[in-house]
A and B are shown apart, each in its own frame.
Chain A
Amino acid sequence: MIAHAIVFYIFSLIAIVSAIMVTVSKNTVNSVFFLILDFISISCLFIMIGAEFLGMIMLIVYVGAVAVLFLFVVMMLNVAQQKNEWFNSSVRSSHIPVGLLVSIIIFFELIIVIGGWKYKPDLLDSIAIEINTDLTNTQSLGSVIYTDYIHLFQLSGMVLLVAMIGAIVLTFRQRSGVKRQSYFKQISRDRKDGIELVDVENNKGVKIDA
């Protein structure tokens, strides 16, 4: 039990410190690396409370895919330099008040939500369905998502689909003059299309029409 507590505190300490470092560190790429560390320690916490499926999905989705894209963008756009220029410039930016306002609103929302939260002893009394301890996490999640909450599940899938199509539509450009490789054309080419035999008259040459 003591070992459990020690490990819990280590992971939460890492999570909090790296969350602070995400905002504090000057170099944007370092921020992203701290964000990844944060994700990893949070998924370790998930695994510690017995939500192993959630923890692994967190690793796969956030660390394995989302953070890679973050890193990509940050590295390619050279945001670090922009950020430094922005910090050092004398011109006052209007970002700070807006950001403060948004974060204060989110902070109060969190207080409201967590204030109404039921902690473990109360939680077990307040739920109607019995907890089946024989099933694994994955099984119980699947049996709920694909039966009782199927409409919500499908709806969230639709939202993702719309977002995906939107992203494609926004960034898609039809460029002219791009040479595309068509496997079908390449394979279906035969001798007749490629070679033409011409009888060349002496001293006249051949006119090749391009």
Chain B
Amino acid sequence: MAELFIFFEQIYKILFLLIPVLVSVAMIVWLDRRVWAFVQKRRGPNVVGPFGLFQTLADALKYVFKEIIIPASSNKVIFILAPIVTMTLALIAWAVIPFSETFVLADINVGILYLFAVSSLGVYGIIMGGWASNSKYPFLGAIRSAAQMVSYEVSIGVIIINVLLCVGSLNLSDIVLAQKDLWLVIPLFPMFIIFFISALAETNRPPFDLPEAEAELVAGYQTEYSGMMYAMFWLGEYANILLMCAMGSILFLGGWLSPIDLFPFNVIPAPIWLILKILFLFILFALIKAIVPRYRYDQLMKLGWKIFLPFSLIYVVLTASFLMYFDLLPGN
């Protein structure tokens, strides 16, 4: 009986985390479109609900009632699995995100590795979708995306090593607590920039949205998808973007910590700070979508392998030597 109780408590906790995440994904799609419109001097979605806040819900409802079309020559099992994989992977990663000192679903030892692993699995949803469609454009999009995501994962991995050198733990709560005096964005500012750009490439956001470059590939790997399955790809993509923003704010911007430990700031509850930081990063994402033109594919690869990777490797050496020389290594 007691075990059953624990089981239901866990499910309650998971729902308590997942439902806000899903709702905020819907809101963030609206925010993305609003920011985009704001930059281009348009109004953006402003009809459904106050300020158009329910636009995404209306869109989702529309997708639910649309027919799901499965191409006759596609590999049906993998075709249906692909959006499910994308969505699931985007959601399970939230299990380790610490919202405050006590509010974390799974406080595991290797939290940052778990996040990295889940984000590196994200490429499968795209490859599966692209291949199973059995069509030229989706396949080209999937191949582009796989190469792009694998390349940028490498530099994200090296950036994480930089952070770990300064923190001395793979636990996400420890990483946040280690930034109590100094947010890592200050000593590792170049790494923060590179992390941000790599996160754009990892989530296939503009200017690196080559997998779905509409001028060349129709809609990339999602070309053959319709109805709810398309909506799942779409929600999974935005959940991933939100996750990358959360990862950036935990690694560099001090997670749930308030910027200054003084009166008006430290009464605001910890999760609010994390949400504000995630929103800040997301608005940057949205602004970049609006103002930066798309990269060419060879430029993208060159940026990843020939500039980001060597630079972040050199920065690892620099960080390690600095910490060693001034005897600042954590754990001593």
How many Å lie between the Cα of A59 and that of B93 in the bound state?
14
Is the pair A29, B131 in contact by a Cβ cutoff of 8 Å? yes
A33 neighbours in B (Cβ, 8 Å): 78, 128
With A33-B78, A68-B146, A72-B143 as known contacts, state yes or no: A60 contacts B127, CB within 8 Å: no
- In Å, the complex CA distance between A135 and B189 comes to 31
A59 pairs with B121, CB closer than 8 A: yes
**A3 to B2, alpha carbons, bound, how many Å?**
13
- Cβ of A167 to closest chain B Cβ, rounded Å: 15
Nearest residue in A to B139 (C-beta to C-beta)? A75
- Interface locus among A50-58, A86-94, A103-111, A122-130: A50-58
Determine whether A64 belongs to the interface, using a CB cutoff of 8 Å to chain B. yes
For residue A156, CB closer than 8 A to chain B, the reply is: no
Number of A interface residues in the complex (CB < 8 A):
24
| A138 at interface by CB-CB < 8 Å | yes
CB-nearest residue of chain B relative to A65?
B150
> What is the interface size of chain B, counting residues whose CB is below 8 A from a CB of the partner?
26
- Which chain B residue shows the least CB distance to A71? B127
Contact between chains at A53 and B117 (CB < 8 Å): no
Chain B 131-159 per-residue mask, 1 if CB under 8 angstroms from chain A, else 0: 10000000100010010001001000100
Flag if A75 contacts B131 (CB, 8 Å).
Answer: yes
Interchain pairs with CB closer than 8 A, number: 64
Q: Which of B78, B108, B298 meets A52, CB within 8 Å?
A: B108
Chain B residues within 8 Å of A181, by CB: 298-299
Report whether A137 and B109 are in contact in the complex, using a CB–CB cutoff of 8 Å. Answer: yes
Contact call B127/A64, Cβ cutoff below 8 A: no
Q: How far is A210 from B42 in the complex, measured between Cα atoms in Å?
A: 48
Q: Across the interface, do B3 and A3 meet the contact criterion of CB distance under 8 Å?
A: yes
Q: B98-136 CB contact bits vs A (8 Å, 1 = yes)?
A: 000000000011100110110011011001100100000
Q: Can you name 27 A-B pairs with beta carbons within 8 Å?
A: A3-B3, A29-B78, A30-B78, A36-B124, A52-B110, A53-B113, A56-B116, A60-B113, A60-B117, A60-B157, A63-B120, A63-B121, A64-B150, A65-B120, A65-B150, A65-B153, A68-B127, A68-B146, A71-B146, A75-B131, A75-B139, A76-B143, A136-B109, A137-B110, A138-B110, A181-B298, A181-B299
